Amino acid sequence: MPGLNLTRAEAGQRAELLTVTSYDVTLDLTKGATVFGSTTVVKFSAAEGSSSFIDAITETVHSVTLNGTELDPAVVSDGVRIQLPGLAAENELKVVADAPYMNTGEGLHRFVDPVDNEAYLYTQFEVPDSRRMFAVFEQPDLKAAFTFTVTAPSHWDLISNSPTPVPLETTPGDDGGARSVWHFAPTPRISSYVTALIAGPYQSVRSKVTSSDGRVIPLGVFARKSLMQYLDADNIFELTRQGFEFFEAQFGFPYPFEKYDQLFVPEFNAGAMENAGAVTILEGYVFRGKVTDAQIERRAITVLHELAHMWFGDLVTMRWWNDLWLNESFAEYMSHLAAVENTEFDRAWTTFASVEKSWAYRQDQLPTTHPIFAEINDLQDVEVNFDGITYAKGASVLRQLVAWVGPEQFMAGVREYFQKHAWQNTELVDLMKELEAASGRDLDQWGKLWLETAGVNTLSPEIEVDADGTITSFAIVQTAIDEQPTLRPHRLAVGFYDLSAEGKLERTHREELDVDAPGPTSLPLPERRVRTWSCSTTTISPTQGAPRPRILGHCE
């Protein structure tokens, strides 16, 4: 019995056997406060005669029908998986079940607002929880088109990945209230973990943005009724438009979905979630009083981060969860870049260095440190391996990668990556291949040194001056502790700073250079130290003959 876990080997075998065409999911949200009705019809092709399974975490499975044949739920379902024996070349599976509402922020979460006693629902599916709402092949590389049909109280608003339709019909409910049926149009081919349903008497503010291809994209910002007085939707819309403008220009690819809604939801476990066209955001970002500039900037970064995911994550998606670090690091890098270059938050990189990068340094010097890239053998590994290394260090290292290949070359590679892999699944190597082609740099060794080893490097200046203070030689010395002796290639800028006649600090010289990483050489420290160090030296020739600066700084 695998329980709730799914191994990479199982997912790989299933991906070899199956190609999923579509899901038609019908939900009944009027069955009470504990369970909802879930009917899934999935069409898929398979290796004829093979067997597989579909994921479905359920309260009760009422029926399972495979290609017109009834299967006994007591035999094929254990409440987590449904076994599918004797598959045909083309298959249609129908699963009728009841599933529980959650109050843990997984699956379909249900919250009752104590102010008005109204129920508010929203989904959270990353990593493995769309199976808590409908029967699904729960892995990112089995993309499909999803169609949702939902019965809910008539006074609710329903939001999903596709634009919200006009309800088809309204009938009396068992509780005396009216209920309606919403039939959403099919989505493009996306992964199940970025599908979404948000339902309840949410209130909204509407706007729009014109995409680079001329389409008018509807925008919506949603919150509970009791929070609408605090919702500063105009600021969210302005930031969203700035993000659209920047990302479409940088990525060379129009926004890939039909609309873009942002929903502030209660009891959310994370900062936000990049559901395709229906982003859910921590309700704490609806500011109910005075807040610091840092909090406002953090919200802006979160908004831009999720918007970046519409391309990197939703349009093009990782094949398996071992590239989740790249998914998050890319969005974090692009959100800061967009903030600095196209919004009022032009000091976002300073915050990044002081908060995220310093967090990465701390995490990387603990006994628990590990390489950024980790083999994720099952879903349980995702929970264990994703921490300050994979997020904060991952984003910092991605910024170093941009510096290493060059910002223009990086974006050229990214544009080619989106063009080649739209609506598909990829691995890290696919992105690296495009960056190599755009930059001419061999990134194989770079990836091994930066992504597959742990530990920090220390870069220190070594300056020699003559009697009158003129620099005669200047080098950057790279060291690493003996426990993690890896020396790595760095691209950095070294700045010389001095005081002007008015007493202001001014940069007088700037030099960009590569700090190469030859094989480590042992350099013993004085006896009072217990560690030995690995070291490399890179000379900065153009600085010779310059006066010694008052302050020396560098950035990677």
d(CA 159, CA 450): 41
Contact of 79 with 58, CB cutoff 8 Å: yes
Q: How far is CA 166 from CA 84, 182, 393, 454, 463, in A?
A: 36, 7, 46, 54, 71
Would you say how long the chain is, in residues?
556
**How many Å apart are CA 430 and CA 196, to the nearest integer?**
28
Percent of residues in the chain assigned helix, strand, coil, to nearest 5: 30, 35, 35
Catalytic residue among 306, 332, 356, 434: 306
Q: Specify the amino acid at residue 104.
A: T
Q: Check if the beta carbon of residue 86 is closer than 8 Å to that of residue 17.
A: no
Using the structure block, give the residue that is written with the tokens 């060291």. 479
**C-alpha to C-alpha distance for 272 and 332, rounded to whole angstroms:** 12
Q: How many other C-beta atoms can be found within 10 angstroms of the C-beta atom of residue 193? A: 27
Q: How far apart are the first and last CA of the chain?
A: 48
- In DSSP terms, 505 is beta-bridged to 499
Question: Which residues are within 8 A (CB) of 412 and not within 5 positions of it... i.e. 6 or more apart?
Answer: 438
Q: Are 392 and 356 in contact (CB under 8 A)?
A: yes
Q: Is 306 a catalytic residue?
A: yes
| Dist. CA 264–CA 272, nearest whole Å | 9
CA distance 224 to 281: 12
User: Which residues are marked as active site?
Assistant: 306
